[in-house]
Amino acid sequence: METTLRGVGVSHGVAIGEVRHMGTAVLEPPAKQIPAEEAEREQSRARQAVEAVAADLIARGNLAGGEAQHVLEAQAMMAQDPELIADVERRIAVGSTAERGVYDAFASYRALLAGAGEYLAGRVADLDDVRNRIVARLLGVPMPGVPDSDEPYVLIARDLAPADTALLDPALVLGFVTEEGGPTSHSAILARALGVPAVVALPGAGELAEGTLIAVDGSTGEIFVEPSAAKRAEMESAAAARKAALSASTGPGATSDGHKVPLLANVGGPGDVPAAVEAGAEGVGLFRTEFLFLDDSTQAPSEEKQIAAYRAVLEAFPEGRVVVRVLDAGADKPLDFLTPADEPNPALGVRGLRSLLDHPDVLRTQLTALSKAAEGLPVYLEVMAPMVADRADAKAFADACRAAGLNAKFGAMVEIPSAALRARSVLQEVEFLSLGTNDLAQYTFAADRQVGAVSRLQDPWQPALLDLVAMSAEAAKAEGKSCGVCGEAASDPLLACVLTGLGVTSLSMGAASIPYVRTTLAKYTLAQCERAASAARATESAEEARLAAQAVLSGE
């Protein structure tokens, strides 16, 4: 009998197939004691397993490229954390086996992360995956992960570690459903990059029996269990029509009455550029530069290395706009040479621009490298600072850009509610705003973007978040400046129309979402988008806002 479940749709498309479950987690190793003379051998086993897992994660990242590579390299750094390895060796020295020492050391570190504030708590799933891989190697059992199958399937998991999501084969994995996660979790972001339909934050997903036929709608978040033939035909027909419309959609982003809304791509490095170009991106709205700094957490990359990487991206968009975010370190992206190690709550501490202003040499080198990378190119370079809180932050960044001789527009990311509330003040110092809706939602609602239990508060349709977007866009219009969105909210085609109606001047997203947004935006006039935006803001919940906007745009 057909039943319907609802989670959070995070990656567009329809998947119909049988359920396969993620491989089970590694069992807890027995707590047996070893003789003192075996300690050195067990310590060597532990170190070898750690290095092998780190190498495997890096290799997976190199294969995957793009955003996935940066996430996996961060996991490899986690595996090789010197303090964590030292703790493992201390436990082995007093009698633990290698696998038990790893298990207990990671459990202790896990407890620290879980209690270190919501943002760092979101890294627990990544830490658990690293632990499971090391313990599995020591025990000589298969790695936990994606099941082996010769037939396409829909993957079900409690949560997906980046190492698993990064190498999903779209030819076999039709889509995936997780119990945990949120719309801006690593898994959701990587699913959109892969173009795999996905639904997250679906309680009870793990109870779906192996082999059960389900239909997944990655746009609405609906899961149809044992769908009827009529329901399958309806979904397949709708998916085919959508695919045909996407193929026919080309050119710049615009509403049906010609109001231009540039559609840009979010990229993490040169590896993401081909997909962005193929999708017809009009430029880059968010170039995350962290990937260069993850290779070595002890020192910043040289100016020469930075110039080469930046130029590779800038050259791909001649005459296009490329917006570069300077290094956003701290919180879940700690760097030994830059971020404090003893902050009680790093998400609310020295993060982003704050850490760069504390290390002006790192910021100066990056700005100089960007300036040199753009020399002689016809690209429109714009550079923005992360985590800007007020006018003083904006001024400090603009002053640093001028001091470095940067020939570009300077901007500020709006991720902290204070920057939205005082956007007109911030715009006295910079030339544009870019809304990072992922962190803006996180800080507005005190809801960690990695925690599925608070996913309703991470929903970018929340009216309070729409109010902050509107305030920022209105301030930019009053100052004659631009205000884009580079957070994951822009990848939702319906919400893209609402953001346009709120006055946002450009939208940036993962490359796979660009055709969906372009096609949907072209169906409606600017006036319709404005009416949908007003209707959404007049509601009291994210779901009501979504339904209100749908009603306006469908003419109901």
Instruction: Determine the length of the chain.
Output: 556
* Residue in the structure block whose two tokens are 């993850």: 294
Largest CA distance in the chain: 79
Residues 173, 178, 184, 185, CA torsion sign: negative
pLDDT band at 509 (very low <50, low <70, confident <90, very high): very high
Q: pLDDT category, 451, cuts 50, 70, 90? A: low
Q: Which residues contact 168 (CB under 8 A, 6 or more apart)?
A: 146, 155, 176, 194, 196
Q: Which of 522, 510, 524, 518 is nearest to 554 (CA)?
A: 524
pLDDT reported for residue 119 = 43
Q: Does residue 410 register a pLDDT over 60?
A: yes
pLDDT confidence tier of residue 114, bands split at 50, 70 and 90: low
**Options 483, 486, 497, 529, the catalytic residue:** 486
Catalytic residue among 12, 70, 186, 359: 186
Contact 156, 177 (CB under 8 A): yes
Task: For residue 160, give the nearest of 134, 131, 136, 190 by alpha carbon.
Answer: 190
The DSSP code sequence of 38-67 is: GHHHHHHHHHHHHHHHHHHHHHHHHHH-HH
**Cα four-point dihedral sign 352, 354, 357, 359:** negative
- DSSP structure class, residue 153: E
Q: Which residues contact 160 (CB under 8 A, 6 or more apart)?
A: 22, 176, 178, 181, 187
How confident is residue 121, by pLDDT bands cut at 50, 70 and 90?
A: very low
> What is the average pLDDT across 151-163?
84
Is residue 444 left, alpha or beta, with left meaning phi > 0 and alpha meaning psi from -120 to 50? alpha
pLDDT band at 26 (very low <50, low <70, confident <90, very high): low
Closest of 33, 27, 133 to residue 92, by C-alpha: 33
Mean pLDDT of the chain: 88
pLDDT confidence of residue 490: 93
pLDDT at 59: 82
Amino acid at 116: A
Q: What are phi and psi of 14, to 5 degrees?
A: -120, 135
**49 and 56 Cβ atoms separated by less than 8 Å:** no
CA distance 547 to 370: 43
Chain segment 187-234, per-residue pLDDT in tens? 777 777 777 899 988 988 988 988 899 999 998 899 999 999 999 999
> Tens digits of per-residue pLDDT, 258-313?
999 999 999 988 888 998 998 899 999 999 998 888 766 678 899 999 999 999 99
Lowest mean pLDDT among 132-141, 275-284, 523-532, 538-547: 132-141
| Total-model pTM | 0.70
Look at strands 321-325 and 213-217 and give their pairing. unpaired
pLDDT tens digit string along 91-111? 999 999 999 999 999 888 877
- At residue 241 the predicted structure's pLDDT band, cuts being 50, 70 and 90, is confident
What DSSP line would sit under 398-410, residue for residue?
A: HHHHHHTT--SEE
Give the pLDDT confidence of 363-401 residue by residue, as tens digits.
999 999 999 999 999 999 999 999 999 999 999 999 999
486 is catalytic: yes
pLDDT digits (tens, 9 = 90+) for 479-502: 999 999 998 799 889 999 999 999
DSSP designation for 22: P
Task: List the one residue out of 199, 216, 213, 256 whose CA is nearest residue 452.
Answer: 199
Residue 497 is a catalytic residue: no
Give the strand order in the sheet containing 8-11: 3-6, 222-225, 213-217, 14-21, 153-157, 173-178, 198-200, 8-11
